[in-house]
A and B are shown apart, each in its own frame.
Chain A
């Protein structure tokens, strides 16, 4: 039994699964793609802001990890 089929059975133990009409399936696919794109864009924004805010410190790490210069 595939994972998808197992989830379907778990959701509908009496086997009364909802059959999507082609219009409903299309709409759900479009919504799913939009959510994926929104999440990917959000991750990109977080990444870009992190680079901008940390600047070169993003590469060198925080101060306490740097070797102590001999005086």
Chain B
């Protein structure tokens, strides 16, 4: 008896395609915020252990990115911003991406658990689960609150970094969590305002698609008003020095000024694009200042003593 087996065309996917699947730009932000969580923790970590923890967190973030691209391939193909990703472009088969993402997820979590500590590994596993299952599979296609709730996944890396260093949790990393969590909606809604057609075509119920641009602009303003005092909170709570506090206050004022412009904009998207760009700088500035503060022994010094 002869059986005919259909062979898939041998893959032409290069290493670059697999790196792209891991969303390197998102990964760099994850690694940076995790590094800050790790450095500001009151327990100093051996450089090799810190490197290992960050590597596991980076690979875990890459795994989540790959699994997101696997599940969202249909949406990605219909959006101009994402149509060039490896699956829509036909460079990698969806099944290969699922296997790649799942393997990396298991490796990163198990390695972090065995080499660093179990709490950090559990948090990493929860982050990947939250991003892939709760955000990508469930919320993204079903509610305009998708990025609000899903933002929790992006906000967890500093907590994982802290847990990797200390093996426990505290209020300080939760403040860092809150900063990224409250930063996510204004950041993504500013982007979605000038990509509304893209999201509508793909059937993703982003806030501007469901509630309209005017409501989204109001929501951006409200979230920014809540975000800015939380951005200053590490200083108000006495965790950092005045340099951080002043930077966070000034950057927060700029965020509010931009949010007012976004709210009042009736034609074009110039303010939205500015808001999107500046929001990245805002988060980077805050976390960089936390690092600087810690390096100069201002941050958490009295806890470490």
Contacts and interface: CB of A to CB of B under 8 A. Distances in A.
Contact of A27 (B12, B49, B55): B12
B55 A24 contact: no
Contact of B52 (A20, A28, A34, A49): A49
**Which one of A18, A34, A49 has the greatest number of beta carbons of chain B within 10 Å?**
A49
B10 A18 contact: yes
B14 A48 contact: no
A49 B50 CA distance: 10
Interface string A5-37: 000000000100010110110011011001000
Interface in B19-65: 46, 48-49, 51-52, 55
A27 B18 CA distance: 12
Given A18-B7, A52-B46, A31 B52 contact: no
B48 A23 contact: no
B115 interface: yes
A54 interface: no
B10 A46 contact: no
A52 B18 CA distance: 31
A48 B48 contact: yes
Contacts of A31: 11, 13-15, 18
Contacts of B12: 23-24, 27
Nearest to B115: A49
Contact of B49 (A14, A18, A23, A52): A52
Given A49-B115, A52-B46, A27 B52 contact: no
A58 interface: no
Contacts of A42: 111
Interface in B116-149: none
Contacts of A21: 10
Nearest to A46: B115
A28 B11 CA distance: 8
A45 interface: yes
A69 B198 CA distance: 76
Contacts of A27: 11-14
Contacts of A24: 10-12
A23 B11 CA distance: 9
B264 to A, nearest CB: 50
Nearest to B56: A45
**Which one of B10, B18, B55 has the greatest number of beta carbons of chain A within 10 Å?**
B10
Given A48-B48, A49-B52, 11 more contacts: A14-B2, A20-B10, A21-B10, A24-B12, A27-B14, A28-B10, A42-B111, A45-B51, A45-B52, A45-B111, A52-B48
The list of the 4 closest CB pairs from A to B, nearest first, reads A24-B10, A34-B15, A52-B48, A49-B115
